[in-house]
Amino acid sequence: MAAGGDTPPKPTCGPLAERLNYLFAHMHPPGAPYTNAHVAAEISKGTEEYGGVTLTEQYLSMLRNGKRANPSPDVLRAVAKFFGVPVGYLLGDLSASQTQRVEEEVRFLVAMRDQRVRAIALRAVGLPPDVQDCLTTIIGQFRREMNLPSDPPQSP
């Protein structure tokens, strides 16, 4: 259930709404996802950082629900900047492989929220590639023993 009166994403909304909902679901600090009100307020108060865009909670909700699908380039730039993604991701201007890369980076950032995962990743830095490959194999064995897929799910 969405927090702060935000409506849950519709399964049949357009590409912009789907991408916005993906970012809201995954790109947030540990704890609860951002609300429409929080994102709108942050963008609206950060006049210099977000190009002077004023965004309302209601308009953001309409974008997320597919009721509005053609925001101004300034709004798209501000929202993309807030979430740290290229504006082309929201516009749908990226190729399929570029879109996949953005979403892989989002999944990586989500995984890095877990302190234990971060500690494992950081301890592997600087180890020779063959040792890193061995660690990957060991982790894969643990995942199999625990009846988990070889790799984490592509979409959390």
Q: What would the pLDDT profile of 75-115 be if each residue is shown by its tens digit? A: 999 999 999 999 999 988 888 999 889 988 888 888 887 78
CA distance 154 to 42: 29
CA distance 67 to 13: 8
For residues 27 and 156, the answer to whether their CB atoms sit within 8 Å is no
Q: What are the percentages of helix, strand and coil residues in the chain, rounded to 5?
A: 60, 0, 40
The model's confidence at residue 155, banded by pLDDT at 50, 70 and 90, is very low
For residues 37 and 8, the answer to whether their CB atoms sit within 8 Å is no
Residue whose tokens read 């108060």? 45
The model's confidence at residue 156, banded by pLDDT at 50, 70 and 90, is very low
pLDDT-above-90 percentage for the chain? 51
Q: What would the pLDDT profile of 55-82 be if each residue is shown by its tens digit? A: 999 999 999 999 998 999 999 999 999 9
Q: What would the pLDDT profile of 137-150 be if each residue is shown by its tens digit? A: 999 899 899 998 87
Whole-prediction pTM value? 0.70
For residues 20 and 64, the answer to whether their CB atoms sit within 8 Å is yes
Closest CA to 135 of 153, 106, 126: 126
In this prediction, residue 1 carries a pLDDT of: 42
* CA-atom Rg of the chain in angstroms: 18
